[in-house]
Amino acid sequence: MNYTRYESGEVAVRNSSFQLVDVLENCVANHFIATSTKRLQFFYFLDKNLPSIVETDQICLQQIIHHILRNAVKFTETGHVSLFASCSGECPEFPGSVRLILRIEDSGPGIRPELQKLLFDKFCRLQSTRSE
């Protein structure tokens, strides 16, 4: 996903209403085969309080989830990959809305602490191997 295109306004955010669970289950289904092939366990947990309909950029949300799941599977050799979805109260920046929380965990090697601070820097790519 090219975040700079969104930030520059080159690509417009296209909000639409859609079934959140359908999007999340589609993301899980798309990565289930890869986890099975690598003999990884794949868990997903959807909070019963998730809204059934959400309004946001569905394509952008799917791309973000797919990208993070793809990296979790790619860099995990043994163990598991998990997706947790929940919500927590009203989002103060957008009255009348809730904050969606998506957490992806894996048992892969992780990112060295000194590189973690670079994760959200623009144009930064971390090395794909971890040295202990």
Q: How confident is the model at residue 13 (pLDDT cuts 50, 70, 90)?
A: confident
Question: Coil, strand, or helix at residue 47?
Answer: coil
Q: How confident is the model at residue 112 (pLDDT cuts 50, 70, 90)?
A: confident
Superfamily of domain covering 14-116: Histidine kinase-like ATPase, C-terminal domain (3.30.565.10)
Q: What digits encode the pLDDT tens for the residues 80-95?
A: 999 999 998 888 888 8
Cα separation, 81 vs 12, in Å, equals 32
**Is the pTM value of this prediction over 0.85?**
no
Q: What digits encode the pLDDT tens for the residues 23-79?
A: 999 999 999 999 999 999 999 999 998 999 999 999 989 999 999 999 999 999 999
Q: Say if residue 1's pLDDT is above 70.
A: no
Q: Could you tell me the sign of the dihedral formed by the alpha carbons of 7, 10, 16, 19, in that order?
A: negative
